[in-house]
Amino acid sequence: MTLSTASLARPEPTTETPSGRHRHFYKAYGLTVSSEVALPELESTAPAAPDLEIVVGPIDFPDAPSQGATAFRFVPRRQYLSWQAVGSFMISGARRIDVDPAPGVDDPLLAFPLLGPVMALALHQRGLLVLHASAVAVDGKSVVFMGDKGAGKSTTAGAMIRAGHRLLTDDVVAMDLSDPDRPVILPGFPQLKLAADAADVIRLEQADVRPQVHPQIDKAQHRLRDGFAAEAVPVSRLYVLERGERMAISPLTGTAALPAILKFSYVTRFGREALPSDFAAAHLRQCARIAGRIGVGRLEVPAGLDRIDEAVAAIETDLASGAR
């Protein structure tokens, strides 16, 4: 069911800032977030000292991007990202994100890059391993779905939720490796992005569909009323999704597992500039640690949404087997 923006609104704790904007308080990825951008996708929380601040104001973008361009700049202690049609963002250390909206752009459109690549880089700055993937909790374990665009990461996660499992996070998967014996996935927020054909087949009855914020955005935001895992869950399995003729799961060896994790780590999308030498070494160690400890497999999913439940059954069986 598609609802209006007003029907999806819910009270959020706020305070007013000197700029006249309201500061909203949320929880996501184990953090308390204060934000001058309204982010109803996130779970509200009581005002408290924030771990991460999102502030609206002008940004002095180095080598300002040309008209119509997308631009990224990485300098010591700061990261700049700009989409001409949306706005510019600056990440300062691990505690602050500045947002400079393009003229006429409102908060719902700002949220798309803010909760995607911008948040991913901010989480990376906090020492987390961040993957471009989706993750689902299954009876105290977790599965992570990695893959190229169109491989079916969110669709497979949606089918798992329909089967009674719980979403951990969609698009941005943040792993906390501070305990080397127990790496965990931090819960993001209860929203899944699904293409129209996938949404028609999966039909998540426990989700409300948020209004589209831009005609060029081809996936709808499905906000879950239930079916969300609010606590961190140990990392149990990582799958690289591929389309094929049959349903099959095959393990990747250590030599193949590491390149797969590196490929789908979020920060590598921005190239070597985003990984100065000290960060690059730490990032490689994180990926190698996961490749060495966690089962990584290739999940071949039959083409055609009518067979998605075969993937769900195979994943459940693979998790229950306990094999790596």
CATH number where 199 lies:
3.40.50.300
Helix pair angle (153-162, 308-321), 10° resolution = 80
What 3-state class would DSSP assign to 21? coil
Domain of 276, in residue numbers: 129-321
Query: Residue 150: which pLDDT band, with cuts at 50, 70 and 90?
Result: confident
| pLDDT of amino acid 147 | 93
Please identify, among 125, 147, 165, the residue that sits at the C-terminal boundary of a domain.
125
Supply the mean pLDDT for the chain. Answer: 90
pLDDT tens digits, 101-143: 999 999 999 999 999 999 999 999 999 999 999 999 999 999 9
**Same domain membership, residue 189 and residue 63:** no
Q: Over 70: is that where the pLDDT of 65 sits?
A: no
Q: Do residues 183 and 163 make contact, with C-beta atoms less than 8 angstroms apart?
A: no
Q: What is the pLDDT of residue 323?
A: 58
Same domain, 92 and 188: no
Least confident of 2-16, 187-201, 222-236, 309-323: 2-16
Is pLDDT of 6 > 70? Answer: no
pTM attached to this predicted model:
0.90
Separation between Cα atoms, residue 227 and residue 204, nearest integer Å? 10
Beta strands in the chain (DSSP E): 14-16, 22-28, 31-35, 43-44, 52-56, 70-75, 78-83, 87-92, 96-101, 129-138, 141-146, 166-176, 184-186, 191-195, 207-209, 219-224, 233-234, 237-244, 248-251, 295-302
Is residue 199 located within the same domain as residue 154? yes
Query: For residue 9, what pLDDT band results from cuts at 50, 70 and 90?
Result: very low
Whether 149 and 239 map to the same domain: the answer is: yes
DSSP 147-162: -STTS-HHHHHHHHHH
Return the number of other C-beta atoms located less than 10 Å from residue 120's C-beta: 24
pLDDT at 315: 95
Of 76, 108, 125, the one marking the end of a domain is 125
Same domain, 112 and 155: no
Tally the domains of the chain: 2
Question: Residue 67: its pLDDT value, please?
Answer: 54
Domain boundary among 125, 152, 187: 125
77 band by pLDDT with thresholds 50, 70 and 90: confident
Taking residues 36-56, what's their average pLDDT? 97
Q: Do 167 and 260 belong together in one domain?
A: yes
CA–CA distance, 190 with 204 (Å, rounded to integer): 13
Q: Are residues 262 and 196 in the same domain?
A: yes
108 shares its domain with 142 = no
Please indicate, yes or no, whether residues 117 and 154 belong to a single structural domain of this protein.
no
Q: 148 and 189 in contact (C-beta within 8 Å)?
A: no
95 and 133, same domain (yes or no): no
Contact 259/198 with Cβ under 8 angstroms?
A: no
Which DSSP state fits 76? Answer: T
Residues 72 and 164 in one domain: no
Q: Are residues 278 and 140 in the same domain?
A: yes
Q: Residue 96, class by beta-carbon neighbours within 10 Å (0-12 exposed, 13-18 middle, 19+ buried)?
A: middle
Q: Which residues pair with 174 in a beta bridge?
A: 130, 186
Confidence of residue 2 (pLDDT cuts 50, 70, 90): very low
